Amino acid sequence: MVDKGAGAKEGRKPVQHDSELVMVALGGLGEVGMNAYLYGIGPPEEREWLLVDLGITFPEGDWEPGVDVILPDLAFIEAEKASLKGIVITHAHEDHIGAVLELWDRLRAPIYVTPFSAGMLKPKVGEIAPGLKLDIRVVPVEGRFNAGPFDVELVNMAHSIPEVSALAIRTKHGTVFHTADWKLDATPVIGAPTNEKRIAEIGAEGILAFVGDSTNAMRDGRSPSETEVAHSLRDIIKQAKDRVVVTTFASNVGRVKAVADAARASGRRLVIAGRALHRAIQVGMETGYLPKDFQYLDQQQYSYLRRDEIVCLSTGSQGEPRAAMARLAQNEHPDLSLDKGDLVIFSSRTIPGNEKPVGRIQNSLAMMGCDVLTDNEALVHVTGHPRRDELRQMYAWTKPRIAIPMHGEARHLREHAKLARECGVKEVLILTNGEIVRLAPGPARIIDDAPVGRLYRDGRLLVNAEDTPVRERRKLAAVGIVVVALTMTRRGDLLGEAQVALDGVPTQNDEGEPMIDLALDAVDGCLVSIPPARRKDGAMVSEAVRRSVRSAISQAWGKKPIVKVLLNVVDTR
């Protein structure tokens, strides 16, 4: 294990070698989401790079107000984009592919994807980046290709979306086995099981480093199969008396098929609500994971069906405010409605940070009289990630010299590291984003640091997290704002009365005095206290008024609001 004490970031000097194999994460370590992993070959000043995944993560509730999604800062690889030989996408979940459209133009390297991932990516170009012409190289499932000095083999892994690929990245320094997201599921609803035979064969060839999923490293046993969920959903829907609405991740085509099969077995009609679901179904049909004649109705036909013949599959499992489920819960959907006794099934896991919006929707549904079913009450969802027994089996097949836990928060990485050592791995490293680790030659060790950070999608803009008004918004949400407008002559004489506007501030104090009057009194008192000769200094007057108003409101309220002073100086000559 390499811990924080071994090689502090301050003053760390690169270790020089003629050629070496290195890895650095620009996102995905110590967090669930925003996966972006770089592998480099060559001497420090002449490395060639391969980027694995380019995903997003989501803002954490109220901490990042106004932010839509979060993307990795690619400044490090942008500076070396001429040496970037390719971007390999392991699968089409947003935390692995969601940043491609917005960031690819900064890199312009070939994108290697399987057919399903390509099908999920291409339709979004018109939505997010109209006119962008991506360099997409479609690779067959379990295909193999070269990207510069990297020989990359795709290995099929079971997960909650079709065509998830682990990567066997062969280099002159050894092979890295990068798992992506995976589980051992012998009976997935769609697609092939994890290719255990091929993994064992690659392990027998010799694996230098194993870079693996840590999401469920704290959970014992094995993950249940998708087929078990399909059987459970069928039984639950058969027993339902009125409408059934199921919400899940749109990309989980296996779950879509399971709900469709359950609807048919119950003599019900499947209704689809949400553009993302329509897109995933279309791609599933085009790539053969759903039948060409897959039958479903659009949401406009919902109101024509009896309550007992509807199974509606809806977007919005993560509490997205504009998705179908949120609008249903607020009784604001133009085509869908719910009544007392209807059953709503959340066939998904809540992503960390989304607990509050999901909880609000579930409580709203309960207040409407709906029955709400989650994976806490029934087998309506299973994880797509390996538990501890599956990790042990994977280490038995791969037998790596080095293990690097990825895809998880700090506690997940730590538990994965403990388990890897228990499985006999000699070198186990717990890394954070930006730490460059040399995998070969010689023992694995941290040798340098890369700049890392976050970009915010803020409306139509993509801005650096360090340079955005998010901090100000956070403060506004807590203490509100007071705006003071003054007009003065160049000699410092006040023209007319000051104007004050309050937003997010109480209207009166505990004695019933209007807060706006307290602010106006503070302005008057401040101006009287400034000698006439000094009022010619507009900057000084503005700052003095700001401090006085802030102090007056703070004494009355106990909180210090943001105060802005707008000073207009006019020439009266």
Integer Cα distance of 416 and 408 in angstroms: 9
Give the pLDDT score at 506.
96
Secondary structure (3-state) at 355: helix
Beta strands in 309-359 (DSSP E): 310-314, 343-346
Integer Cα distance of 148 and 157 in angstroms: 25
Q: Which residues pair with 449 in a beta bridge?
A: 435
Beta strands in 267-398 (DSSP E): 269-273, 297-298, 310-314, 343-346, 371-373
Please check whether the two domains, 20-221+383-459 and 470-570, share a CATH topology. Answer: no
Give the pLDDT score at 16.
52
Integer Cα distance of 535 and 490 in angstroms: 8
Assign a CATH topology to domain 226-373.
Rossmann fold (3.40.50)
Q: What is the mean pLDDT of each run of 10 residues along the chain (573 residues)?
A: 39 63 97 95 95 92 80 96 98 96 96 97 83 93 98 97 97 98 96 96 98 97 96 97 96 96 97 95 96 94 95 94 93 95 95 87 97 96 96 98 96 98 98 98 96 91 83 88 94 90 95 95 94 90 96 96 95 71
Neighbours of 263 (CB within 10 A): 26
Give the type of residue at 333: H
Integer Cα distance of 260 and 468 in angstroms: 44
Structure tokens at 245: 């609405």
247 phi, psi to nearest 5 deg: -120, 140
Neighbours of 276 (CB within 10 A): 18
144 phi, psi to nearest 5 deg: -145, 140
Q: Which of 85, 202, 100 is nearest to 142 (CA)?
A: 202
Under 8 Å between Cβ of 243 and 310:
yes
Under 8 Å between Cβ of 91 and 167:
no
pTM for the complete prediction? 0.88
Distances (CA, A) of 264 to 102, 182, 261, 315: 40, 30, 5, 20
Under 8 Å between Cβ of 326 and 316:
yes
Instruction: Identify the helix (H) or strand (E) that includes residue 395.
Output: helix 388-398
> 404-425 in b/e burial notation, b at 16+ Cβ within 10 A?
bbbbbeeebbbbbbebbeebeb
Give the pLDDT score at 12.
52
Q: Which CATH architecture has domain 20-221+383-459?
A: 4-Layer Sandwich (3.60)
- Peptide bond preceding 224 in cis form (omega within 30 of 0): no
Distances (CA, A) of 573 to 359, 498, 570: 63, 22, 9
Rounded (to 5) percent helix, strand, coil in the chain: 35, 25, 40
Neighbours of 19 (CB within 10 A): 16
Under 8 Å between Cβ of 96 and 53:
yes
Distances (CA, A) of 215 to 159, 399, 411, 412: 13, 20, 10, 6
Q: Position of tokens 């069906």?
A: 305
Under 8 Å between Cβ of 43 and 87:
no
| Conformational region of residue 353, where left means phi above 0, alpha means psi within -120 to 50, and beta covers everything else | left
Integer Cα distance of 452 and 466 in angstroms: 12
Rounded to a whole number, what is the largest CA-CA distance in the chain? 91
| Conformational region of residue 92, where left means phi above 0, alpha means psi within -120 to 50, and beta covers everything else | alpha
As a whole number of Å, the CA-based R_g of the chain is 29
Q: Which of 19, 55, 9 is nearest to 454 (CA)?
A: 55
Handedness of CA 307, 310, 314, 318 (dihedral sign): positive
CATH number for the domain formed by residue range(s) 470-570: 3.10.20.580
Secondary structure (3-state) at 470: helix
Integer Cα distance of 2 and 537 in angstroms: 58
Task: Determine the distance from the C-alpha atom of residue 448 to the mean position of all C-alpha atoms in its chain, rounded to a whole number.
Answer: 27
The domain segmentation of the chain, as residue ranges, is 20-221+383-459, 226-373, 470-570
